[in-house]
Structure 1
Amino acid sequence: MNAPAPSRQPPPTRTASTHAAAVLVSGPFDDLRSHHVRFLQEAARRGPVTVLLWTDDAIVRFHGQPPRFPFPERLYLLKALRFVHNVVPVANPDHPDPSLLPTGPLLWIEPPFPEHQPPPPKHPNLETFRLAEADLAGFPLPEPLPADPRRKKVVVTGCYDWLHSGHVRFFEEVSALGNLYVVVGNDANVRALKGPGHPLQSQDERRYMVAAIRYVTETFISSGQGWLDADPEIRRLRPEIYAVNEDGDKGGKREYCAQMGIQYVVLKRTPAPGLPARSSTQLRGF
């Protein structure tokens, strides 16, 4: 039996003394993980978030080594998050160009995790605030996006362990077909299909990361088993389209869709323009 779905209500948090019209955060956001996304989610509760994203050269200067993921890929991932309003490249995090900052009152939010943070920029209308570890507890799901009744329902399924730019590109492409519903594989079934060591992240964490992507309408955790573990969810959703990438075109899905009267769409695994191809197996190393 699956664990209960995580609450959609974020945990209690401290609030800054003054509401800001715009929120600023700064960092490399290399190897984007759930704690980064939780930080951005909490920052977004206080206003539209502008991320001052460090260039590759800036990361080398601050950390002494290049990032694991190049700037265009980090930029692509951040822009795909529901909690990010704008991303501004900064070559000098200690002294960002004032003309790059939003106008009006600003709130500078610092994360609790141990990453080098530059000082807040000098600005007459800027307030600073540091989040605590407790503010980022759990994986509170954002509300589902409003579904456009004029568009078809599209379902995709998968593990989505270690969410990467290839997953996001797949969601982006599939969302062009209709309102996108993602069924994330439950832990027990992923383990049964992929073997020991899988998944690296729990079903709640994997679902949370998928739900944070702006192309996704709503997410679920599968309640079945095998390659068609999402069958109970698909029967409830009644989608018009089931989309997979080339690697996912197996396990009887094509025959299942023919039996259910669902259009079956297979997309090629093509990275976003200018980005390298990614796979969870490649990133995990097994």
Structure 2
Amino acid sequence: MKQVIVSASFDDLRSRHIRLLEEASKLGQVHVLLWSDKLAGNPKFPEAERLYLVQAVRYVSSVRLVDDPRDTGQLKPDLWVSENDLKLDSDDFPVPPPMPGPTGRKKVVVTGCYDWFHSGHVRFFEEVSQLGDLYVCIGNDANVRLLKGEGHPLFPQEERRYMVGSIRYVKQCLINTGTGWMDAAPEIDRLKPDIYAVNEDGDRPEKREFCAQHGLQYVVLKRTPKEGLTKRSSTDLRGF
């Protein structure tokens, strides 16, 4: 398989970055040369956080932090790929297929908006995926607007599904078809998970009652960032 190099800062990871990595992965194994803070020049997000995010993308084979954008180390690349090399439709968000993996694990579902995607979301997915195959059910645009008000969501449901579904800890990402705080009820009925996991911010009586009625294990996780990283929230990042 060809060795493909992508060299960039990947500051404030967005869907266009994921599209680049996905398309590059169709050409071979993707190795990212991630620009250090010094090379990136005062990035919004520090190198440790950017490294954590890019390492979590399912299309990436390896990530190396560099001070020189051409420093491949021991790698012998066959191709160098950048956004300028690929004709990408910024409004095209393919539905990520289910992540391959062993069968027979418990099914775990989480729900949420995941509007401004950040390292806290990835950390939550990483922790929950240890309980079983992770299915993420995201709020549809109309329901997010109903619950959070005008101006929400910042990113459309197809783009949010694409971002979440690109993370290697996620088995599959679905768009909810229901309404209210339990807008994922139709998807949960179809998936038939064993566990419904939330973080402390997402713990609600409606969810506890739903799990009790449907015989699901309800797990509440503490909202803690990856060691060494800043605690993030989409609300705070809206003005970042």
TM (norm. structure 2) is 0.96
Q: 1:175 maps to which residue?
A: 129
Quote the residue 1:5 is aligned against. none
Corresponding residue pairs, total? 240
CA distance in 1, matches of 2:15, 2:82: 16
1:82 aligned onto 2:58: yes
Give secondary structure in 1 for the equivalent of 2:237.
Answer: helix
Q: For each residue in 1:194-230, what CA deviation from the matched residue of structure 2 results, as whole angstroms up to 9, or x when unmatched?
A: 0010000000000000000000001111000000000
Q: Give the superposition deviation at 1:21.
A: 1.2
Paired amino acid for 1:232? P
Aligned pairs for 1:1-150 (under 5 A) are 21-60=2-41, 66-93=42-69, 95-96=70-71, 98=72, 100-103=73-76, 106-112=78-84, 130-134=85-89, 138-146=92-100, 148-150=102-104
Q: Residues 157 and 244 of structure 1 are in contact (CA less than 8 Å); yes or no, is this contact kept in structure 2?
A: yes
Does residue 119 of structure 2 align to residue 156 of structure 1?
Answer: no
Q: Cα offset for 1:151?
A: 1.2
- Does structure 2 conserve the Cα–Cα contact (< 8 Å) formed by 1:148 and 1:179? no
Q: What SS is found at the alignment partner of 1:252?
A: helix
Does the 8 Å CA contact 2:6/2:33 hold for their aligned counterparts? yes
Structure label with greater radius of gyration: 1
**What is the rounded CA distance, in whole Å, between the counterparts of 2:96 and 2:82 in structure 1?**
22
Equivalent residue number for residue 190 of structure 1: 144
User: Shift of the alpha carbon at 1:148?
Assistant: 3.3
Task: State the TM-score, normalizing by the size of structure 1.
Answer: 0.81
- Cα distance in 2 for partners of 1:29, 1:253 equals 36
Ranges in structure 2 where 5+ consecutive residues have no aligned partner: none
The CA deviation string for residues 119-158 of structure 1, in whole angstroms up to 9 with x for no partner, is xxxxxxxxxxx11244x65011232123533211000000
Report the alpha carbon displacement of residue 251 of structure 1 after superposing the two structures with TM: 4.9
Query: Matches of 1:284 and 1:81 in 2, distance apart?
Result: 23
The answer to whether the Cα contact below 8 Å between 2:19 and 2:88 also exists between their aligned partners in 1 is: no
Give the 3-state SS of the residue equivalent to 2:121 in structure 1. Answer: helix
Deviations 1:11-51 (A, max 9, x none): xxxxxxxxx61000111100000001101100111001000
Residue 13 of structure 1 corresponds to: none
Q: Which amino acid aligns with 2:47?
A: F
Q: Distance in 1 between matches of 2:223 and 2:179?
A: 25
Q: Evaluate the alpha carbon distance shift between residue 240 and residue 51 of structure 1 in structure 2; reply closer, same or farther with a 3 A threshold.
A: same
Given that residues 228 and 251 in structure 1 are in contact (C-alpha distance below 8 angstroms), is that contact kept between their aligned partners in structure 2? Answer: no
- Pairing of 1:197-276 with structure 2 (within 5 A): 197-276=151-230
Paired residue for 1:121?
none
> Are 1:166 and 2:120 an aligned pair?
yes
2:61 maps to amino acid: H
- Identity rate, percent: 60
Preserved contact between residue 96 and residue 172 of structure 2 (Cα < 8 Å): no
